Structure 1
Amino acid sequence: MSAVVEMTPEPRRNRPVAAASPIDIVQNALKSGNVEMYREAVALFKELEGMAARKAFDNAMADAKARIPVIRKNRRVGFDHKSGGDRTEYSHEDMAEIARTVDPILSDVGLSYRFRVASPLNAPVSVTCVLSHRDGHFEETTLTAGRDDSGKKNAIQQVGSTITYLQRYTLKAALGLAAAQDDDGRGSEQEAEPETYTPPPGSITQKQVDFIREALEEKGASVTAFLQWAKVPRIESIPAGRYAACVNAIANFKKA
């Protein structure tokens, strides 16, 4: 007599379900024939794609900032004041030095930059630095300044000088670059400042402070006069919301 063995089926295990990709969502919506569902799926796809591109951009920026060294100030310039007094001298990094330093690093992490220039007749010059990542996300930094009529420049040279100036500063601002310290161009008023200071809440960052200091140096402008114009006791005290206005104002200063 043979025995009959009954097989008990194994309990069904929960298997992980693969999440649908954004393109799968769009394709399924298209197959459904529901126009509204398709529109929502496309909007979701674009949003997710944009988030991924922004994340890739931020990661590339973090990698680049970790590798970009302090930019060397390779140019020394000076000028005499029309009103007399001590000669102003300062050092700065030219566009070629900035590009030589950052271009290989940016290319390695998938970043690139380009400039958009606007110079309407009898109007200030505007330069926009467009910083882009290969995955599609980009950010823009714009500065505007009057034509540089210092020296004996003709009209074309005035525009060219301003464009070069704004290209350097928009790129530095976009990347958050710092230049090597140079105390020769700084006034005694800065050296007299205490070593420690706690800015009020909502003030600009230290990188923005350094950026404003360097811009004032390059223009040969008085820090004291600038602070009086800005109505703040120190550069570190400038509210974050006024940073762009201050940078644009300095860009429009005329060298003495």
Structure 2
Amino acid sequence: MNPATFADVVDVEVAEAPTAPVPTVSAGRTAIAVATPADLLRIAVENGADLDRLEKLMQLQERWEAHEARKAFVTAMAAFKREPIEIYKRKQVGYKTKEGDFVGYKHAELSDVTDAIAPAMARHGLSFDWDIHQANGTITVDCVVTHVLGHAKKVTMTGAPDTSGKKNLIQQAASTITYLQRYTLLAVTGMSTKDEDDDGAGGADEHPQGNAQAQHASERPTARAAQPQSAPYDQKKFDANKDQWREVVKSGRKTPAQMIKFIESKGALLTEEQKLTIDSWSHEND
């Protein structure tokens, strides 16, 4: 049997796949593969290139790798965004009226965000981490998303320590850090939280800003149901009783919602700031 010639092979391949013709190579010509900077560097080393030429080739290799890593990052983020991720506002701060209406606000805690995002990111070679800095009475949090090939994206937010309630200095810093971690992670990944019923007040969690104090203001309790008109609770009377009420809440005898309901049952409605103060008592030991 005669051995198959190059022409025989080409004829067979064209006949079997007419829609994808196989290019032929003319006699005397050699197919040339595209060389990467790493290939050029290896060849230069093998041929004894001088140090200056090697340094330039190494710089070229570094730029090439950075470009490839950036492309891989964009591809991975696009795939991550196609994941069916849902982050719900599960944390309720407030109380229910006698009619069963909720008065207060809801938000997603840091664990709600990380539990939803981390597994999906890992499937596409992505991870996240935070860098924390404190200076001049403010706290700065950097959230960095990194791809396995090395390209990264960072979002930075700054805020003052959370002085609400009677937190000690460490608790004040921890509260703000957790808060900034939540919002920087949402921002750098382009994610948002959702609620089954936003009553038109939504978006507070879905559009993070760089100022943490403005974010705290957006999460202050708002009434979801119309409340009867009544004079606000006298602040002097509130201050006179709050130490005793605080002990009741801290001891667990009443929840903040139960305490608010008990106080308002006397006929005067608490202000939003007074409600926030009562709620903060339950977090003093966090």
Name the counterpart of 1:39: 55
Q: Which residue of the other structure, out of 211, 216, 224, is the alignment partner of 2:207?
A: 211
Give the deviation of 1:154 after TM superposition.
Answer: 1.2
Distance 1:167 1:12, change over 3 A: same
Could you tell which deviates more after superposition, 70-79 or 156-165?
70-79
Distance 1:77 1:185, change over 3 A: farther
Give the deviation of 1:215 after TM superposition.
Answer: 3.9
Name the counterpart of 1:69: 85
One-letter amino acid of the counterpart of residue 187, structure 2: A
Q: Which residue of the other structure, out of 47, 60, 77, is the alignment partner of 2:76?
A: 60
Extract unaligned runs of 5+ from structure 1: 1-9, 80-86, 191-206, 223-253
> What do residues 160-185 of structure 1 show as CA deviations (whole Å, max 9, x unaligned)?
00000000001000100011145247
Name the counterpart of 1:125: 139
Distance 1:145 1:18, change over 3 A: same
Match status 1:50 vs 2:66: yes
Cα contact 1:71–1:93 (8 A) shared by 2: yes
Distance 1:183 1:90, change over 3 A: same
- Tell me the TM-score normalized by structure 2: 0.58
Name the counterpart of 1:114: 129
Inter-partner Cα distance in structure 2 for 1:89 and 1:221? 4
Inter-partner Cα distance in structure 1 for 2:194 and 2:117? 15
Structure number, greater radius of gyration: 2
Give the deviation of 1:95 after TM superposition.
Answer: 0.9
Give the deviation of 1:123 after TM superposition.
Answer: 1.8
One-letter amino acid of the counterpart of residue 99, structure 1: T
One-letter amino acid of the counterpart of residue 80, structure 2: A
Name the counterpart of 2:228: none
Match status 1:16 vs 2:27: no
One-letter amino acid of the counterpart of residue 73, structure 1: K
The percent identity for this pair of structures is 32
Cα contact 2:139–2:158 (8 A) shared by 1: yes
Give the deviation of 1:128 after TM superposition.
Answer: 0.7
Distance 1:104 1:70, change over 3 A: same
Give the deviation of 1:24 after TM superposition.
Answer: 1.1
One-letter amino acid of the counterpart of residue 211, structure 1: H
One-letter amino acid of the counterpart of residue 175, structure 2: S
One-letter amino acid of the counterpart of residue 90, structure 2: N
Q: Cα RMSD (Å) of the superposition?
A: 3.3
> What do residues 118-140 of structure 1 show as CA deviations (whole Å, max 9, x unaligned)?
123x5200111111111111111
Give the count of matched residue pairs: 189
> What do residues 221-244 of structure 1 show as CA deviations (whole Å, max 9, x unaligned)?
99xxxxxxxxxxxxxxxxxxxxxx
Match status 1:168 vs 2:164: no
Cα contact 2:141–2:181 (8 A) shared by 1: yes
Distance 1:119 1:78, change over 3 A: farther
> What do residues 184-225 of structure 1 show as CA deviations (whole Å, max 9, x unaligned)?
472xxx9xxxxxxxxxxxxxxxx9994149947743399xxx
Extract unaligned runs of 5+ from structure 2: 1-24, 96-101, 223-272, 278-286
Inter-partner Cα distance in structure 2 for 1:90 and 1:42? 56
